[in-house]
């Protein structure tokens, strides 16, 4: 799979660990930055990540910041992205199965490397369930209000 990954400075080390893990699993990984642990603004990297997922350059995205909250909000500004903030593998699975999430977000200050890897495994192995969830996901892209 083609996977893009981006973070802010708080999640720089986690991003490096997960990038290498994804490569070891055989995925093609685009690291969108930052290139150092110097202070940066998470919205810039969230928007960049959303752009490559929305245009199809990457099939999935991994968004990381200190809490995972800020960068997930930034990614979700793009109507083609459904970014789910997760803290455990079950939530990561449901994000794909029920919400057809195409970006997973995690907080480096809240999750360890092993748990983050387990979340990635769950997210990438799950499939959208369709059925009763399809109409709901359509409403995420095309709000009725």
Active site positions, annotated: 65, 98
**Pair 61, 102: CB distance under 8 Å:** yes
Query: Cβ(86)–Cβ(63) under 8 Å?
Result: no
Q: Directed axis angle between helix 89-99 and helix 113-125, to 10°?
A: 30
Give the largest CA-CA distance in the chain: 45
Where on the phi/psi map is residue 5: left (φ > 0), alpha (ψ -120 to 50), or beta?
beta
């Amino acid at each position: 799979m083609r996977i893009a990954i981006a973070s802010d400075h708080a999640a720089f080390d986690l991003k490096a660990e997960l990038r290498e893990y994804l490569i070891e699993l055989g995925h093609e990984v685009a690291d969108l930055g930052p290139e150092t642990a110097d202070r940066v603004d998470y919205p810039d990297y969230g928007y960049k990540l959303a752009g490559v997922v929305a245009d199809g350059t990457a099939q999935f995205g991994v968004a990381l910041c200190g809490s995972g909250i800020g960068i997930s909000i930034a990614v979700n500004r793009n109507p083609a992205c459904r970014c789910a903030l997760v803290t455990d593998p079950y939530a990561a699975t449901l994000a794909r199965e029920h919400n057809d999430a195409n970006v997973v977000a995690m907080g480096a200050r809240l999750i360890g490397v092993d748990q983050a890897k387990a979340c990635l495994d769950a997210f990438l192995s799950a499939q959208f369930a369709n059925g009763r969830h399809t109409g709901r996901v359509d409403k995420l892209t095309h709000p009725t209000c």
